[in-house]
Amino acid sequence: MASVTKRLLRELQDVRKGLGEELISLEPVSDETLLYWRAVMRGPCDTPYSAGTFVIHIDIPEQYPIKPPTLTFVTPVCHPNVHFETGEICLDILKAQWSPAWTLASTCLAIHVLLANPEPSSPLNCDAANLLRCGDILGYNSLIRLYTRMFAQDPTC
């Protein structure tokens, strides 16, 4: 557990030096443990997610960084690779392609990239994936903008 704490403290220090907070903010949920973090991510520019702000819960196993963290969207997200109800994310680096070289910050950046670059061949949301598979980009973008407006947009905007 000491090595996990040491690694997470180093990652926290790196995050505080600058992750590019205009895109993502990342911090532990409490001062009592470093095993639960929260990321707040702005939607990628020039995508139907751009008006949204998305919250991600990060659950870090005691075997981190040997085992990957579990990241789930708290904010409902309409995306082919995100389960709408559970927030589960289908991304290879969160499973078989995980490497201890990944950090929490780089993992969050990979999810940010995934929002802009969906992979409809491995869907958790078949409706969104099917729109892309049949080439209905206008329908897909409209659906994403609708859900982003409904769940991820600050009502004061």
The structure's pTM equals 0.93
pLDDT at 96: 94
- Judge whether 124 lies within some domain: yes
Instruction: Identify the CATH number of the domain in which residue 37 sits.
Output: 3.10.110.10
Report residue 37 CA to chain centroid gap. 12
Query: Amino acid letter at 97?
Result: Q
Residue 129: strand, helix, or coil: helix
Q: Does a structural domain hold residue 143?
A: yes
Q: What is the pLDDT of residue 155?
A: 58
Per-residue HEC secondary structure of 39-78 comes to EEEECCCCCCCCCCEEEEEEECCCCCCCCCCEEEECCCCC
Annotated catalytic residues are 90
Q: What DSSP designation does 44 have?
A: P
Percent of the chain with pLDDT over 90: 86
The pLDDT of residue 18: 73
Residue range 51-96, pLDDT digits in tens: 999 999 999 999 999 999 999 999 999 999 999 999 999 999 999 9
Tens digit of each residue's pLDDT (9 = 90 or more) over 97-144: 999 999 999 999 999 999 999 999 989 999 999 999 999 999 999 999
How many domains does the chain contain in total? 1
pLDDT tens per residue across span 7-32:
999 999 988 887 555 789 999 999 89
Q: Does residue 156 sit within a domain?
A: no
pLDDT at position 157:
45
Rounded Cα distance between 120 and 4, Å, is 35
Is there a domain that residue 9 lies in? yes
Q: For residue 157, tell me if it sits in a domain.
A: no
What range does the domain containing 94 cover? 2-151
Tell whether 87 is covered by a domain.
yes
Distance from the first to the final alpha carbon of the chain: 43
